[in-house]
Amino acid sequence: MSAIPGFLKGNFRSNESRTCDTTGLPVCNTASLFIQLHAVFAVVFLLVGAVAAILLALTRWPAVHLLPADWFYRVLTLHGVNMLLFWIIFLEVAIVYFASTSLLNSRLFSKGLAWAGFLLMVIGAVLVDYIILIGGADVLFTSYYPLPGHPFFYLGLILFAVGALLAMINFLLTLHIAKRDKTYEGSVPLVVFGATAAVIIAVLTIATGAAILIPTLLWAAGIVDIIDAGIYRVVWWGMGHVSQQINVTAMVSVWYFMFSLTTGAKPLNHAVCRGAFVLYILFINLASAHHLLVDPGVSTAWSIWNTSYAMYLAVLASMIHGFTVPAALEIAMRKKGYRQGVFGWLTNAPWGNPGFSSIFMSLVIFGFIGGITGVTIGTEQINIIVHNTLKLPAHFHGTVVGGTTLAFTGLAYYVVPLIFRREYYMKGLAKIQPYIFVVGILIVILGMQFAGSTGVPRRHWDVSFAGSPIPIPKMESGWLALVGVGGVIAFTGLLIFILLTVATVFFGRSNKGKPMESWGDVKDVSASAGAWTKEDEHKTPGTWALVSILLVSFVVYYFSNWKALADVWWVR
Amino acid sequence: MSFLIPEKDWFKAPDKGERNWIAIGIVWCLIMSVMMPYWHVAGKQNSRGESYKVKPEDFSARVQKFVETNSVGKLGNIPIVQPNPGGHAYLMGGGYIWYPILKLKQGQKYTLHISSTDYQHGFSVQPINMNFQILPGYDHVLEITPTSTGEFNIVCNEFCGARHHVMTGKIIVE
């Protein structure tokens, strides 16, 4: 029996589990093995993606222009696939294995299934990277039909997806046996609920992926020719966009988890938080229509329906989390006695704890940059002045890099001491690592945002257009230099994370048998702060200040884009 | 703790603070939802997605006929073509060029047909920064009215192969 509230007798076999020396949570040894395997490979692919990133940043910086054209597009393909699929999905499998076992007091359903999923993911990912590097698939992440890629490129993606699907099935079956064996009583924790939402979206993603990748594989192998360029885009984005919603959902779950772990925050209202996750499941996949707003063949009604009705309900979900997550933090900090002014709870937060600072900055960057820009440029008409310019990667570097990747690296500062049971090397450096990374990525985003506003295309090797059949003036964009400079800083930050983590995982000092060393706790000073009343449980003036600034920024950015649109030629 | 089993009575209505924020969120989402149909009525820049199925060789033939009928000069060896105001104009993306060069009149409406003869392309008019997706097999129809004069450059902003970055074109507006 465990002292954790709600936990009954676990369903672990003998010698299959241990109790965490820090949190008191049960740890299934099988799950722990696979959490470690997936996390290690996640970081390996993060390194591949990061090396690709710095090469790209140094190529788009006109004064450096490092790579030749063919290698630029090759490395761009490598960057997209490794970052958006391999790094993130490997880590997500680790997250869902953790959530379904330790948080539900259960063993992992099947070791065999876990091995099969893991090996397929590794084989698929290695195959894809190999094909890209030998020049077999210079087709970018989207591999838009009819750009020709080697059949093994699509085959590798399919193997990876099948592996991920097996992991998701293993997760769902673990939920099932935990319920069946009555390892807990009551409802699943919020983090498990969020992870389940992410898995449901992942299964949808993989099903859509099969619908597009299998015909594309058959076409690439010369067996059939049934694909249409427009329909390819509709179905491909059903996978390509929705896969990024797995990240959003998993990231929000990680926000709740990490704030809880670092400050003791708990949600104000479970029904609200869970309702927001349900909105993600129901509406976020239809929102993939916003990739097709200036496409031929899709009607106005279809575009508006999918991007207003569907997308905005998912946006509402993010706005809800954007309130409930900081509100939970604010209440927890105020309860601990930090009640000075509007932001005393925030200034006294554990900013030296990389597991906290990463998560808070992830929340802010995702909301203020990724969210606001994404909703605005996903507006049917505004997309005319944005489509395929650098404003687009500016947006999604605010969601998947400043949001998801930052949150997941913050999570690692706890996964390594708790699951690998090793203490980080050079903790001082680890504490400033998130800040270095954030400064870099913010400069990259700023550069892309403003270069994109002047029309600089994304996915483009040379905006001097030298050697063009119709000579045109080169695009003088000083903003591109910022992409280069920011890229160097962000890469430095990410490399520090990768090196520290890899060194720690393999050679770090073991902390087996004792609690992990604290990154910096929040002292409880409530004794000197006066009485805590029931009314205080709902008072969040700081969160209201933050969301008010968010809303004003949102409205200003949104309408200034309408204004910019109104200045271009008339078109219908 | 959000990672622990919640208390049994967790399912309850949100308190005032959360309710207010959700209400504000819904109102803002409704405003954004209304803006798109509103702009179709009151705005001058819209994307309707009007398009017709076309074989690349058929589209290529239409472009050639358009060039022969309306050609008014050359820039290097690329024809400059002036469609009739209010008439149809054709632009073909493929082989790393936007063909031909178009010469238009300010304030006149043209029905512009754009398609690709090979891969997907991004029709991107600079420096005004107007962008549309162009696909092989689709005749993408845009009713376009240039509101400013000068030389405008077309770049390709959808990756279309090894020499994607040299794919350019031109629209001259008088």
Would A491 be classed as within a structural domain?
yes
Q: Which residues 6+ apart lie within 8 Å of A512 measured at CB?
A: A21, A421
Q: Residue B93 pairs with which residues in a beta bridge?
A: B98, B116
Question: Are the beta carbons of A7 and B5 separated by less than 8 Å?
Answer: yes
Would A435 be classed as within a structural domain?
yes
Picking from A431, A423, A273, A295, the residue whose alpha carbon sits closest to that of residue A356 is A431
Q: Residue B153 pairs with which residues in a beta bridge?
A: B126, B170
Would A17 be classed as within a structural domain?
no
Question: Are the beta carbons of B3 and A568 separated by less than 8 Å?
Answer: no
Query: What range defines the domain where residue A382 resides?
Result: 351-464+473-516
DSSP string, A217-250: HHHHTTS-----HHHHHHHHHHHHHHHHHHHHHH
| DSSP type of residue A112 | H
- For residue A559, the tally of other CB atoms under 10 A from its CB is 12
Asked casually if ipTM beats, i.e. exceeds, 0.95, the reply is: yes
pLDDT digits (tens, 9 = 90+) for B34-55: 999 999 999 999 999 999 999 9
Strands A26-28 and A17-19: antiparallel
Q: Does B160 touch chain A (CB under 8 A)?
A: yes
Place A476 in a pLDDT band, splitting at 50, 70 and 90: confident
Question: What's the whole-number mean pLDDT along residues A431-447?
Answer: 98
Higher pLDDT, A310 or B19: B19
Select the residue of B5, B43, B125 nearest A184 (Cβ to Cβ).
B5
Q: Among A194-198, A525-529, B26-30, which is the least confidently predicted range?
A: A525-529
| Furthest CA-CA distance within chain A | 76
pLDDT surpasses 90 at A511: yes
pLDDT digits (tens, 9 = 90+) for A371-391: 999 999 999 999 999 999 999
Would A434 be classed as within a structural domain?
yes
pLDDT surpasses 50 at A91: yes
Q: How far apart are CA B173 and CA B128, in angstroms?
A: 13
Query: Which uninterrupted H or E stretch holds A24?
Result: none
pLDDT surpasses 80 at A309: no
Question: What's the whole-number mean pLDDT along residues A64-68?
Answer: 97
Would A538 be classed as within a structural domain?
no
Question: Are the beta carbons of B122 and A268 separated by less than 8 Å?
Answer: no
pLDDT surpasses 60 at A2: no
Q: What is the mean pLDDT of chain A?
A: 95
B39: distance to nearest CA of chain A, Å? 8
pLDDT at residue B14, as a whole number: 93
pLDDT at residue B2, as a whole number: 80
Question: Are the beta carbons of A5 and B101 separated by less than 8 Å?
Answer: no
Q: How far apart are CA A211 and CA A236, in angstroms?
A: 8
Q: Does A425 touch chain B (CB under 8 A)?
A: no
Place A424 in a pLDDT band, splitting at 50, 70 and 90: very high
Question: Are the beta carbons of B97 and A190 separated by less than 8 Å?
Answer: no
What part of B 62-91 touches A (C-beta under 8 Å)? 75-76, 78
Place B77 in a pLDDT band, splitting at 50, 70 and 90: very high
The rounded percent of chain A whose pLDDT value lies above 90 is 92
Would A11 be classed as within a structural domain?
no
pLDDT at residue A285, as a whole number: 81
Strands B101-104 and B78-81: parallel
Q: Does B127 touch chain A (CB under 8 A)?
A: yes
Question: Are the beta carbons of A385 and B130 separated by less than 8 Å?
Answer: yes
Higher pLDDT, A87 or A310: A87
pLDDT at residue A360, as a whole number: 98
pLDDT at residue A390, as a whole number: 97
CA angle A346–A347–A353, rounded 5-degree value: 85
List chain B residues with CB under 8 Å of A225.
none
State the residue for tokens 């990667």.
Answer: A393
pLDDT surpasses 80 at A310: no
Question: Are the beta carbons of B2 and A189 separated by less than 8 Å?
Answer: yes
A508: distance to nearest CA of chain B, Å? 27
Q: Does B149 touch chain A (CB under 8 A)?
A: no
Query: Which uninterrupted H or E stretch holds A288?
Result: none
Picking from A413, A437, A433, A435, the residue whose alpha carbon sits closest to that of residue A508 is A413
Would A433 be classed as within a structural domain?
yes
Question: What's the whole-number mean pLDDT along residues A61-67?
Answer: 96
pLDDT digits (tens, 9 = 90+) for A108-163: 999 999 999 999 999 999 999 999 999 999 999 999 999 999 999 999 999 999 99
pLDDT at residue A518, as a whole number: 94
pLDDT at residue A444, as a whole number: 98
pLDDT surpasses 50 at A1: no
Question: What's the whole-number mean pLDDT along residues A94-104?
Answer: 97
Question: Are the beta carbons of A455 and B144 separated by less than 8 Å?
Answer: no
Q: Among A397-406, A443-452, A516-525, which is the least confidently predicted range?
A: A516-525
Q: Does B107 touch chain A (CB under 8 A)?
A: no
Place A225 in a pLDDT band, splitting at 50, 70 and 90: confident
Q: Residue B123 pairs with which residues in a beta bridge?
A: B132, B156
Would A246 be classed as within a structural domain?
no
Question: Are the beta carbons of B144 and A470 separated by less than 8 Å?
Answer: no
pLDDT digits (tens, 9 = 90+) for A399-419: 999 999 999 999 999 999 999
Measured CA distances, A200 to A197, A207, A384 (Å): 5, 11, 33
Sign of the torsion angle spanned by Cα atoms A328, A100, A250, A50: positive
